[in-house]
Structure 1
């Protein structure tokens, strides 16, 4: 089959899908990844076909500011622009695998062409009685059995900033106009597969999900061929005890460099700070700021991890077997922060907008000095490493491709 994986977002949204794509290619499929230009090198470096979707989420994220409103405004702007690009980039496909931000447009394209469409999600995406579904609002936790379901149902019927662009795009394809909620309700009530690429050891499949909704295990990014750490990083790691990793993803406030420095000194640790899209930089003899370093290489060399709890970063940390201090901001980040806390591999978390040097320093200190966190993290890592998310996905796609139910509703 000709499979096109469609992904829009940050590196954490795109990189895990390279591992899935390589596995599908090994199974004999013709596979391409359709994404935006900043990830062309990533895709081609895996030996995969790259198809361009116009736009640059990195430029938008670094200029949009922080907070929920900025994220929603950016997502709405992206929704207005990517439809035509997805239509062109998926020409000739038999099956579309659709990541979260490309899901609605890709679903409409699949419907118009009469081809198969499979959502590939990095966090829970179907309503459940067990917990509050991760959303743009960054809600997490539980409102009880009925409250969780009621909130999910209400969100599916609320208008969104994306609806106008989606309805216009549906009309351009000769389809009945549909907003985001209508498309998601169609997927939720359908019979086709919805595949979730995270570990069931960390977040098990809810018992009340419909048939076809599966938690398959993580999809791991492909290691960049020939990558080597810089001499500065190698020397820093060799020059003292294992440091703590600090990374805040794509959206960072101006106050954080000084806050991070005070926190690591309060905890008495060294730190490696990932610059990221937001250009975070901390200067000190006991802190090294680095550019892009593969988490699969870096995290096993750390004492503990401080991060925003994005899905990909959380998965890499769990696989490395390291304690986690969460600093979530929005979308699915609070969900994963609560999840690692519940798993016993985190001493706690602070929302990014409420972060203090004292609070962060104390959490870091607990993570590196209390052996129970490291012990539980190691046990969880062993379970996660034993999973084969890409292999299970390939098997499910092979089986689902024989059923009419896999087609876009």
Structure 2
């Protein structure tokens, strides 16, 4: 099977998928990882194929030191990410289609999940998600970038739980 993994982020976002890719490759599958250019050496050193996507977090971190110095403030990070991803998103469709060429399966993670699922829908390739962090509300965990509540939230009050987490950030 030919697998393309879509993931963008820092090393903490990419390394787990390199490990997954190596495991899949050892099981006889051809694996390509679509991510930021700065991870190409790490991916190819692991014996995996690489496909470039814009929005390289390493570059953003080095070129946006004020944002990174205030990285615990999700509002600052979100503002910077929104601006930078708007710039990077224009070539994503072409890059995503190129990355998925000849694939039998797409694995999607993080902020490129929507791109990966759109590519899968357009091409008829099966797509599964493998999220490292919650991307949607859950009873015990808020979506990523929100401080967890003091205790677990019952499923019936998930929305109140999210609002409680968000209020801690002045939202």
User: The TM-score by the shorter chain falls in which range?
Assistant: 0.7 to 0.9
Structure 1, unmatched stretches of 5+, are 155-409
Match of 1:31, SS state, is strand
Displacement of 1:143: 6.3
Select the residue among 143, 152, 155 that pairs with 1:134: 143
8 A Cα contact 1:132 1:139, kept in partner: no
After superposition, what is the alpha-carbon deviation per residue over 1:130-167, rounded to whole angstroms, capped at 9, x for unaligned?
x132323x221246313225556x8xxxxxxxxxxxxx
Which entry has the higher C-alpha Rg, 1 or 2? 1
Query: Which residue of 133, 147, 154 maps to 2:157?
Result: 147
In the other structure, the counterpart of 2:166 is none
2:138 and 2:19 map into 1 onto residues whose CA distance is: 28
Query: How far has the Cα of 1:74 moved from its partner?
Result: 3.1
- How far has the Cα of 1:124 moved from its partner? 3.5
**1:151/1:91 Cα in 2 relative to 1: closer, same or farther (>3 Å)?**
farther
Cross-structure match for 2:88 = 81
Q: In 2, Cα distance between the equivalents of 1:108 and 1:150?
A: 31
User: Where does 1:9-408 land on structure 2 (aligned, <5 Å)?
Assistant: 9-62=9-62, 63=64, 65=67, 66=70, 67-76=73-82, 77-78=84-85, 80-82=87-89, 83-84=92-93, 85-129=95-139, 131-136=140-145, 138-141=146-149, 142=151, 144-145=153-154, 146-151=156-161
Normalized against structure 2, the TM-score is what?
0.77
Bigger relative contact order (CA 8 A; separation at least 6): 2
**Over aligned residues, Cα RMSD in angstroms?**
2.2
Q: In proportion to residue count, which structure has more helix?
A: 2
TM-score, normalisation: structure 1: 0.34
Q: Distance in 1 between matches of 2:24 and 2:86?
A: 28
The corresponding residue for 2:167 is: none
| Structure 2 gap segments, 5+ residues each | 164-171
The alignment covers a number of residue pairs equal to: 151
